[in-house]
């Protein structure tokens, strides 16, 4: 794609072109905005290039050689990345930028015909090895995600092994567009954004907050039998907390820094909760009899995401985590992980979202990326693998996907249109207890380190809600719907009976509303249908006089005639069944 762009726009400058969760993109600067016609011309040129079956030739250069080459080519963005890598190392680069680069000592370039690009690789050997592809869309993107930098054009594409896979994907994407949570969230009155509040900082309406609370309550309902206790922590902390935990070295550029005029201490908005929870554990002496200690909290954390990467609720700066941390003995780890697995299993079953489980382990070729020694890593990875064997799941190890402090089980859920989402996680951590010098007194009266287990069920509430909106296309099951029954009076004279019916439903724990707007009944019905309310009751003269209620059930063509108690029983059963 980049070679085709250079043919069409010889002065084009290239940013980064990474693989992403769904396909790939390339940030380019051609001095103006890309158009649909440009996209078509780029595709045509790509086909011409592929027909010539050029090879992809790899060459390794020293850092200084690479900088000189891209200076000569006029590729200023590439030069900037290389200079940063040379002077500051890989920590100065985003994950996407690192895909284009190698290491500080040397970098690799690839040549495709007359085009030379910077990339870590590996690539296919020749163009005929490339499967069916399609350029899907384009958008504006600030260089390196900073709005103070030049705006570039981001072109997205996908590539598959077969035409059938590509066609299936494009069909899925057409359906996904109809289900876009940003569009449905506004139509269903669930959340909003404000430029005065700031990008990536969603605000939830009463309906959206209702759904958030229902999800949090469901998680707590599943957790409570396993002995979890709720805790509360502040939203800021001294930098020292994250320097001790090791997060500072890894994520300093992603933190919101907070200054005070009344103290010399430097603070940050908390980017994660685990270091705080270690300090609650450390607040008093612990015995082996006290363990496990299980802390649970649903609270916001904050990450300084690049503006260009923010997207609806999918990627935000204020992230509500359903977080829990367990401090236990080594001989208790397997049982605790099993309990967490059962909670996760029960949660996703309610949404009819099948799960895959990945065992994320460290990269054996890069031990310097991880905290802790070889012995504790083998122990932690072995425990997770054993639990998965016990439940009959073949969790294939994914090298290099572990957290920097320990291995984990990553749960990948499949939604209604076949997309996969990494959501829940269980992480075994032998390192934070060591760094914070956490202790308990063992059976021999000696001090010993506990094991810390991190777990999230739905992960980020915001991201999970975005997935849920698209999974159900806004038509939520009755237990989760903000409004479960919409009462629709035909005329003003039916309002009093409608209000009484709503109050009776509310008294039975059913969320009901009356639409008493001065509008036609057809318009009110259409409004309730757009809001995707599960049950609708139309109240006219017959219903007001005591005859059975006329009930419309979402998704059903035929109306039902039900007595009030039968309606209550119907809705309550759907709530109980989480349907």
Q: Single out the catalytic residue among 408, 455, 502, 532.
A: 408
Please state, in angstroms and rounded to a whole number, the distance separating the CA atoms of residues 327 and 451: 6
Are the C-beta atoms of 321 and 425 separated by less than 8 Å?
A: no
Find out whether the peptide bond into 122 is cis, omega within 30 degrees of 0: yes
**Structure-token pair, residue 332:** 């208790």
Q: Single out the catalytic residue among 6, 75, 153, 321.
A: 321
Residue 303 annotated to the active site: yes
Instruction: Give me Rg for the CA atoms of the chain.
Output: 28
DSSP string across 191-217: EE--TTT-TT--EE-HHHHHHHHHHHH
DSSP class of 93: S
Q: Single out the catalytic residue among 325, 419, 455, 471.
A: 325
Instruction: Return the closest-CA partner of residue 343 out of 328, 365, 326, 359.
Output: 326
Q: In what order do the strands lie in the sheet with 115-118?
A: 57-62, 106-112, 115-118
Segments in 447-563 forming alpha helices (H): 461-471, 495-507, 521-530, 541-544
Find out whether the peptide bond into 254 is cis, omega within 30 degrees of 0: no
Instruction: Return the closest-CA partner of residue 403 out of 437, 371, 434, 433.
Output: 371
Residue 454 annotated to the active site: yes
Residue 159 annotated to the active site: no
Which run of H or E residues covers position 448? Answer: strand 447-448
**Structure-token pair, residue 516:** 């008493």
Q: Single out the catalytic residue among 294, 454, 524, 552.
A: 454
Angle between helical axes of 63-72 and 76-88 (0-180°, round to 10): 160
Please state, in angstroms and rounded to a whole number, the distance separating the CA atoms of residues 473 and 482: 15
Classify each residue of 94-118 as buried b or exposed e, where b means 16 or more C-beta atoms within 10 Å of its C-beta: bebbbbbbbeeeebbbbebeebbbb
DSSP string across 217-256: HHHHHHHGGGT-EE----SEEEHHHHHHHTHHHHHGGGSP
Neighbours of 65 (CB within 10 A): 14
Burial (CB count within 10 angstroms: exposed 0-12, middle 13-18, buried 19+), residue 57 = middle
Q: Single out the catalytic residue among 29, 38, 117, 323.
A: 323
Are the C-beta atoms of 297 and 436 separated by less than 8 Å?
A: no
Q: Single out the catalytic residue among 183, 243, 303, 564.
A: 303
Angle between helical axes of 564-576 and 495-507 (0-180°, round to 10): 40
Residue 274 annotated to the active site: yes
Please state, in angstroms and rounded to a whole number, the distance separating the CA atoms of residues 384 and 24: 32
Q: Single out the catalytic residue among 6, 13, 274, 524.
A: 274
Are the C-beta atoms of 303 and 145 separated by less than 8 Å?
A: no
Residue 249 annotated to the active site: no
Residue 449 annotated to the active site: no
Burial (CB count within 10 angstroms: exposed 0-12, middle 13-18, buried 19+), residue 290 = middle
Strand partners, 177: none
Instruction: Return the closest-CA partner of residue 515 out of 530, 532, 534, 537.
Output: 537
Residue 207 annotated to the active site: no
Please state, in angstroms and rounded to a whole number, the distance separating the CA atoms of residues 446 and 443: 7
Instruction: Return the closest-CA partner of residue 441 out of 326, 288, 331.
Output: 288
Q: Annotated catalytic sites, by residue?
A: 274, 303, 321, 323, 325, 408, 454
């Amino acid at each position: 794609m980049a070679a085709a762009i250079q043919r069409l726009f010889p002065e084009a400058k290239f940013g980064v072109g990474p693989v992403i969760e769904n396909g790939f993109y390339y940030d380019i600067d051609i001095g103006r905005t890309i158009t649909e016609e440009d996209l078509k011309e780029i595709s045509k040129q790509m086909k011409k290039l592929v027909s010539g079956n050029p090879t992809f030739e790899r060459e390794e250069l020293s850092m200084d050689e690479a900088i000189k080459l891209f200076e000569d080519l006029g590729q200023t963005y590439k030069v900037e990345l290389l200079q940063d890598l040379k002077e500051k190392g890989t920590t100065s680069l985003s994950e996407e930028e690192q895909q284009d680069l190698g290491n500080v000592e040397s970098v690799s370039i690839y040549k495709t015909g007359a085009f030379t690009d910077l990339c870590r690789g590996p690539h296919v050997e020749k163009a005929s090895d490339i499967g069916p592809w399609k350029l899907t869309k384009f958008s504006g993107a600030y260089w390196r995600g900073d709005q103070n930098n030049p705006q570039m054009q981001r072109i997205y594409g996908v590539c598959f092994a077969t035409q059938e896979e590509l066609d299936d994907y494009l069909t899925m994407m057409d359906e996904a567009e109809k289900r876009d949570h940003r569009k449905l969230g506004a139509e269903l009155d669930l959340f909003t954004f404000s430029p005065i509040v700031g990008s990536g900082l969603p605000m939830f309406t009463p309906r959206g907050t209702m759904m958030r609370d229902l999800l949090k309550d469901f998680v707590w309902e599943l957790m409570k039998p396993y002995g979890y206790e709720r805790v509360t922590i502040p939203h800021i902390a001294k930098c020292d907390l994250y320097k001790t935990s090791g997060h500072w070295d890894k994520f300093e550029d992603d933190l919101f820094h907070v200054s005070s005029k009344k103290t010399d201490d430097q603070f940050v908005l908390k980017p994660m909760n685990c270091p705080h929870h270690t300090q609650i554990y450390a607040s008093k002496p612990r015995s082996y009899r006290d363990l496990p200690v299980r802390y649970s909290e649903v609270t916001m954390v904050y990450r300084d995401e690049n503006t260009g990467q923010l997207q609806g609720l999918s990627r935000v700066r204020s992230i509500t985590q359903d977080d829990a941390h367990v401090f236990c003995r080594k001989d208790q780890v397997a049982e605790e992980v099993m309990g967490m697995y059962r909670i996760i299993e029960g949660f996703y079953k309610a949404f009819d979202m099948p799960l895959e489980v990945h065992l994320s382990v460290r990269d054996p070729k890069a031990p310097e990326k991880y905290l802790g020694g070889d012995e504790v890593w083998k122990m932690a990875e072995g425990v997770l693998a054993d639990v998965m064997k016990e439940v009959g799941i073949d969790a294939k190890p994914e090298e290099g996907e572990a957290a920097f402090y320990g291995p984990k089980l990553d749960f990948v859920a499949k939604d209604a249109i076949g997309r996969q989402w990494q959501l829940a996680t269980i992480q075994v951590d032998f390192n934070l207890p060591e760094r914070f010098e956490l202790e308990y007194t063992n059976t021999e009266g000696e001090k010993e380190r506990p094991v810390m287990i991190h777990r999230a069920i739905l992960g980020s509430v915001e991201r999970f809600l975005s997935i849920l909106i698209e999974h159900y296309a806004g038509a939520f099951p009755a237990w989760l719907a903000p409004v479960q029954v919409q009462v629709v009076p035909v005329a003003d004279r039916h309002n009093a009976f409608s209000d009484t019916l709503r109050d009776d439903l509310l008294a039975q724990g059913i969320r009901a509303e009356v639409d008493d707007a001065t509008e036609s009944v057809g318009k009110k019905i259409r409004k309730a249908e757009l809001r995707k309310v599960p049950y609708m009751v139309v109240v006219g003269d017959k219903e007001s006089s005591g005859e059975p209620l006329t009930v419309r059930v979402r998704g059903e063509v035929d109306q039902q005639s039900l007595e009030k108690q039968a309606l209550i029983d119907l809705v309550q059963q759907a709530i109980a069944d989480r349907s």
